[in-house]
Amino acid sequence: MTLLSVERIKLFSTRSPYWCLASILAAALLFALLMGTIEGGRQATTYLSQTGLQIGMIVFMVLAALAVTTEYRFGTIRVSFLAVPRRPNVLIAKTVLLVVLAAVAALVCSFAAFFLTKALASPEVPLTLSSGDDWRMVVGHTALFALAAVIAVAVGTLIRQSAGAITILLVWPLLLENLVQLIPKVGRDIHNWMPFTAAANFVSPGPNAQVFGQALQAGGPTAVQGLLVFAATAVVLWAAALLVLLRRDA
């Protein structure tokens, strides 16, 4: 508990976490505002109300990675390891703190976005959380944010340099997974099962749903399978980060 408090103090000793959290909320609300007003709110859906959370998750990964890399940059990680010789405890404390923060941020932002879209939507398309799929599309972001935080901590620990870690966390979901589709014949199938693409299925209404009059792309993992792929990626990367942390000098 003391170690968690120390990590919390270190994390919030600068303004960057506050700015990142504010940016996540702003992205969620701005996209909710957009989706709630397009065509007078007649296109608003529970799924579209959460559009800004996709950007918010990437912003949170940057925050989580910086929580690790800035310690290497300023050398405070050595002090942490001197105070706590068991290095896994330091990594666990960082991960737990960021996972909890990620889940809380996602929960607040997802519900804020949903209710803003609901307030702006046309009476013809009332938004309700009346089914398990509706709840999954909103509350499901807490699980994705938490796992994304684990991935970001792992990448930050493995790379140690802020620029490198942030580049990977931006290029991976925004560019690399999409480029895989260019592989002849098997590119689309591989793309559907890549971590961030698969994770998106967990908060998707399903392949038969209509978004702006068009069906979502069919194929790929189910919602549960997508979550499991993302979770497995997080676990493997975190285990690799722990192994490297134990073998490498601070």
- Say yes or no to pLDDT of 99 above 70: yes
What is the rounded distance in angstroms from the CA atom of residue 238 to the CA atom of residue 54? 22
Position 42 scores a pLDDT of: 83
- Say yes or no to pLDDT of 212 above 60: no
Span 98-102, average pLDDT: 97
Confidence of residue 126 (pLDDT cuts 50, 70, 90): confident
What is the rounded distance in angstroms from the CA atom of residue 43 to the CA atom of residue 28? 17
Position 82 scores a pLDDT of: 86
Position 1 scores a pLDDT of: 63
What is the rounded distance in angstroms from the CA atom of residue 151 to the CA atom of residue 230? 9
Q: pLDDT digits over 44-78, tens only?
A: 889 999 999 999 999 999 999 999 999 999 888 88
- Say yes or no to pLDDT of 149 above 80: yes
Phi and psi dihedrals of 121, rounded to 5?
A: -65, 155
Confidence of residue 108 (pLDDT cuts 50, 70, 90): very high
- Say yes or no to pLDDT of 12 above 70: yes
What is the rounded distance in angstroms from the CA atom of residue 168 to the CA atom of residue 28? 23
Q: What is the mean pLDDT of the chain?
A: 91
What is the rounded distance in angstroms from the CA atom of residue 140 to the CA atom of residue 145? 9
Over pLDDT 70: what percentage of the chain?
94
Q: How far apart are the first and last CA of the chain?
A: 23
* 12, amino acid identity: F
Q: Identify which of 78-82, 170-174, 205-209, 218-222 has the greatest average pLDDT.
A: 170-174
Over pLDDT 90: what percentage of the chain?
67
Confidence of residue 138 (pLDDT cuts 50, 70, 90): very high
Phi and psi dihedrals of 140, rounded to 5?
A: -60, -25
The tokens for 72 are: 């290497």
Closest CA to 61 of 139, 136, 154: 154
Position 209 scores a pLDDT of: 58
Position 2 scores a pLDDT of: 84
Confidence of residue 250 (pLDDT cuts 50, 70, 90): low
Cβ 168 vs Cβ 241: under 8 Å? no
- Say yes or no to pLDDT of 43 above 90: no
- Say yes or no to pLDDT of 245 above 90: yes
3-state secondary structure of 218: coil
| Of residues 105 and 220, more confidently modeled | 105
The region of weakest confidence among 31-45, 95-109, 155-169 is 31-45
